Each structure stands twice: as C-alpha cells, then as structure tokens.
A and B are shown apart, each in its own frame.
Chain A
Amino acid sequence: MKRTSTTNARFWQGNEACAEGAIAAGCRFFAGYPITPSTEIAEHLSKRLPHVGGISIQMEDELASIGAIVGASWAGAKSMTATSGPGFSLMQEGIGYAFMTETPCVIVDVQRAGPATGQATKSGQGDIMQARWGTHGDYSAVVLSPNSVQEMYMLTVRAFNLAEEYRTPVILLADEIVAHMREQIILPEPEALKIVNRRGPDASEKAFFGLEEVPPMPSVGDGFNVVVTGSTHDEYGIRATADPLVHRKLVERLNGKIQNHAKNIADFESYNIDECEVGVVSCGCTSRTVYEAVENAQKSGIKTGYVRLRTVWPFPDRIIRKMADTAKTIIVPEMNLKQLYYEVERAANGHSQITSINKIGGGELITPEELLTKITEAGRKND
C-alpha cells in the first residue's frame, strides 16, 4: 500500500521505534535471543535489516548474541542486541569483554520485574544498578534511559553515536512500558540526524589500544593484523597478564575516556530547578508520572521542579547538586526498591533531604496522585 501521508508522523510501538532508530543510526547487524518484553525488536529487525543490506540472526542464547555482535563490530558493522533482565544478566561477561576490547556496540535491555524470571510481562526498573555494575572488574557504563516512543528512536540513535565516538558498549535501558506502548512519533529527516562513525586507522597506524584516549579502530580482514584480546594488553593488543603498570594504564584509560567526558555524555530534561522547594528525580517510564504531578503541585502553590535523566550512567551529579542547592526535599520515584535513590543522595551530598516512592510488581506505575501526595507532604514539612 502506498503511503498517502506527507508528514513524518507515525504511530509506533516503542520496540519498533528502537529497531527503526537502530537502522537510521547505521546498524547493519543484529543478533539476539527471544525474551519478553524485547522480542519485537528482534522480530522487526529480522524483517527490516535485509531491506537495507543488513543481517539479523537469532542465536542459541544471550552469550552467543553478545559474542556475535562483538564479532560483527570488529568486522566493521554497527551492531546491536536486545534482551531483558535474565538475558541481560547472561550478557554481562560479554559486555565487559566489549568494554575491555573497546568494541562499539549497543545492548538494549527492556527491563521487566525481577529477580530471576520474576514477572516477565510486567515493567520494572530493577536493572539500573546492574546496567552500571553488572560486569566484573573496574568498568564504566554508558546507559541511556528513554521515556517515550520518540525517545526509543532518538536515544537508540544516540546510543550508536556514543558507542562509535568512545569505542565502548552502550546500553539502552528501556522498560516494558516504553517498549510496548504505542504513541505518535515524528521521524526526523535523515539529513537532520547526526550520525557518528568510528575513526579508522591510517595505513601506517598500529596502536589500536592506546596512545590516544580513543584509539582508531581497524576492521579484521583489512590487513591491519589487529590483535584483539579481553586479557590485559598493551597499546598494540599484546597480552600482558602480570605487568601491573600495563593493567593500570589500560583500565584507567578505559574508565577515563567515559568519566572524563561525563559532562558531554550527560543528557537530561529539567524544569524549575532554580526555584523549587521540592524536586523530583526520575528516569524512564516513571518520569511520565512526574510531569502531571509536578504541574498540579505548582498549581497548588508548592514550588516544585524536576530532573528527568536521559543518561543514567555516567550519573549526572552536577544537575542533581544544583537542584539540591535550592530544593529542601528531593523525591525519587522508581519502580524498584531504591536504586537511583542512593545516587541522588550521594550527588546531593547532604544539601537536600532525599525521600523515595517505590513500587514494584504487576507493572504498576507510580500514579500522579501518589506522587502529588508525597510532594504535598514534603511541601508542608518544608513550611
């Protein structure tokens, strides 16, 4: 059927938007394993990637999926996998490998209620800390948190851009609600979309793992004789499994290239933080509740503001600290038993009182009424 519409408006599901965002970002390889609530991403890409000359394959498990996307990335393709809690746990070793080998790739974790099988079809935000600390060893994560279908598209594009820019795995931390809901999305014009591609080496370059903060990345099969290893290695990829200096230099650089650019990576939406007495900090699906609650609180005369995090990691300390300078109370609503809470507390550094609303199970969102009640309580206490 021919499209008659001339606009770029679509009515899409979040997972569909994520898949299309990946294609727009240049993703040409997907490997995954079915798991609710992320499966539609695999289904959509297996249909769509062949149209653009890409490859989609269902692997035997999540260990293989993360392995395959790392391999594909080294072969020169932008690559992605999508999973949910249990599969995300299985991928953790591979994410550490991608970090250690500086392999750009995108891992989508559509959160559901855990631990273990938990409630497979119900939303949750219990993977915030796993996304940060899931792999072993000293690691810095880049984790983005969409709260709408539009952002499932836009942040997937950004996830690829950050992966390519910093040569590191990037996690899109979605949740069942944003992944499964359908709403309007306005597709950006392809030429308006900023697309970042990894920097390849010059013919004479040989240091693919050091010398520069983000070294150039060759592809295998192009004659660079690149040595890739997850073991500690020097600037040329040669293993050094006992030398303390080589390990320090490598792992400090890998963490530094994320932490030193935390300000550039940080992305958030904020409202009224310079004047608020009560602040709300949230991310993902929970933040959809915040807009209405804050608006109603403002109407009732309580000076309220919010920060909504689009990048959860590296944690944007500065904006929280700024909010803490004015807000007497900061409320952290989340669909888990306190994860973001402790980060907000740390960043506020005693300048605000931090309080939380936590709701888990059944995929039930914190309602605007529940949040408003909490804001009102805090507002009253502050008087």
Chain B
Amino acid sequence: MTETFSPRKYLRDIAPPFCPGCGAYTVMNVFLRAVHELGHEDLNKFVFCSGIGCSAWIPSPHFIADSVHTLHGRSIPVATGIKLVRPDVNLVVFGGDGDIVGIGMSHFIHAARRNLDILVIMVNNMVYGMTGGQVAPTTPFMAVTTTTPYGSFEYPLDAARLAVTAGACYVARWTTAHVNEFKESLKEALKTKGFRFIEVVSQCPTAFGRKAGFKDAGEMVKWFKQNTVPIEQAEKMGEDKLMSKIVVGEFAKKQRPTLTQTMQATMEEAKKRIED
C-alpha cells in the first residue's frame, strides 16, 4: 500500500522551531502517521500536555488540538487533573528525558502506579537540549556534555524499566532509526487503556552530537541502529555487555483497571455500604 500521507492536516501553519536534523521532526511525523492510520481525521478527541524542553514543542502549538504547555516537569500532574475530570478525552503527554524523568520523575512514577489512563511519549535525546546540552539522567556513562566536560561520571537511568516496575500497562522503547516499530507501538498504545509509556531515543545533533563527537544527525541515527539490541536478545545478555547498548522493544503489555475506574468502583462500593 503506497498511500501518500501528509501530516499537514493536523498541523497549524507555524514553522516548527527544531534544529536541522532534530529527531523531534521524526517523532512528530511518526505520531501523526499513527493517528492517521488509526483513522482519526483530526485531533479533536485528543488533549495534549507537555512540559518544558524541545520535545514539549512537538504538540504545542503545532497540533490543531487542545494543548496545554505546562511548567517544567509538571505535564503529568496537569494531565492528571484533566483526565480525572474528563475521562473521555484521549490524553497524550510529550516530553523530553529531563522533563519526564529528571525534574518530573516523581509524577511519572506515581501516574504509572495509579494507572492514570494517559500515553506518555518521552523523547530521549540523552541531554538537556534546549539549554544547550547539559548532562541529563539519561546521558550515557562518560559522555561529554557542557556540564560534564571530563565525561559523565553518573550511570544513566533506564526509564522504560522504571515504568514497568511502577506498574505501567504498556511500555516500549524505540529509536528514531526504528520508525516502523515506533509507529506500530504508538498505534498499539493509542488503542489500549491505562498508563502507557513509549520512550523514543532521538538524536540531538546540535547539543549532544557535537560534544559527543558525531559528525551529523545521520551519524547519530546510524549509531542508534548499530547499538540497539532487541529486548528478547538482551534478556540473555549480561549487564556488562549491555553497558553501552540501547535495548529496544516492548517491555510490558498488560491490563489493569485505570485510576478513574478504581476511583469510581470505590465510590460505588461506598455508596452501597451507606445505603445498606
């Protein structure tokens, strides 16, 4: 099937602010393609929340939809308020690694624990890109950034595994070199309920690539391709062998009642007890 697809029908006529070669273009494009393939002609059923950072600008103000561009790290709390009052909307959070698992880490864990019915798309560029490339909780060990000029002496966080532990219903990790897998994963996540988390490792040629020694965006995508290990394979490998690898695939797929469902069920039960 070679249907031509243009994301323009979902976008305001405002030029995105991303640098040339930025992975945010890919993420935006793949997300809208997934939405299109699911049969949504517009984004009216969606509400988008984002925090601060380059990837927060993927939906806001570009998507022709309701979008709430919140404070740094607070997209998930705002999404919690919206989703509890309006359980009918399809709520999608876009955020960077610094936003979601740096400053906003605690909200991420608690939303997964509560099984808040939202999809969180974390664009992991391994660095604080908007402020010029400082070390992030996801920066690879010994990578040079502007605030780790001698190499990062901290171990990076595995956000996908953290989401699994916290109770997320759907968890996947892909890179911008895996557009098809990422798209299928988005479709899967958009069709299901509960806290869903997709991490997409994305290139920041400007703030990360230059310091880390990559010639251009293409080199970074090539690096993603060469350094990824499918989760099935990774499970058989030792920790030392996985040190500099990106494990991709689906990490969790399960169903359990959402926050709204457990809240409503609890209140119904309480009502019965009072009436009895």
Contact = CB atoms under 8 A, between A and B. Distances in A.
B67 interface: yes
Given A59-B77, A67-B77, A228 B84 contact: no
B61 interface: yes
A71 B68 contact: yes
B74 A75 contact: no
B89 A221 contact: yes
B1 interface: no
B77 A64 contact: yes
B187 interface: no
Contact of B69 (A29, A63, A71, A230): A230
Contact of B263 (A55, A64, A223): A55
B44 A97 contact: no
Interface in B74-93: 74, 76-86, 88-89
A349 interface: no
Interface string A67-105: 111111111110100000000000001100100000000
Which of B64, B71, B81, B89 is the most central at the interface, judged by chain A CB atoms within 10 Å of its CB?
A: B81
B106 interface: yes
B85 to A, nearest CB: 4
A231 interface: yes
Contact of A71 (B65, B73, B79): B79
A223 B107 contact: no
Contacts of B14: 238
B182 to A, nearest CB: 26
Interface string A160-179: 00000000000000000000
A60 B263 CA distance: 17
Interface residues of B, number: 35
A67 B61 contact: no
B204 to A, nearest CB: 20
Q: Chain B interface secondary structure, helix, strand, loop or mixed?
A: mixed
B60 interface: yes
Contact of B107 (A64, A79, A221, A224): A64
B44 A71 contact: no
Contact of B89 (A97, A220, A224): A220
B70 interface: yes
A225 B64 CA distance: 6
Interface residues of A, number: 43
Nearest to A239: B61
Contact of B88 (A31, A55, A221, A231): A221
Interface string B84-125: 111011000000000000000011001000000000000000
A57 interface: yes
Contact of B60 (A93, A220, A227): A227
Given A63-B77, A68-B81, A220 B71 contact: no
Nearest to B59: A227
Contact of B66 (A65, A73, A77, A220): A220
A350 interface: no
Given A220-B68, A220-B86, A225-B66, A75 B60 contact: no
A86 to B, nearest CB: 16
Which of A31, A60, A226, A238 is the most central at the interface, judged by chain B CB atoms within 10 Å of its CB?
A: A60
Given A93-B71, A97-B70, A228-B69, A68 B78 contact: yes
B60 A29 contact: no
A64 B84 contact: no
A50 interface: yes
Interface of A: 28-29, 31, 50, 55, 57, 59-61, 63-77, 79, 93-94, 97, 219-221, 223-231, 237-239
Closest 7 CB pairs of A and B: A71-B81, A67-B77, A75-B85, A72-B81, A71-B78, A68-B81, A229-B69
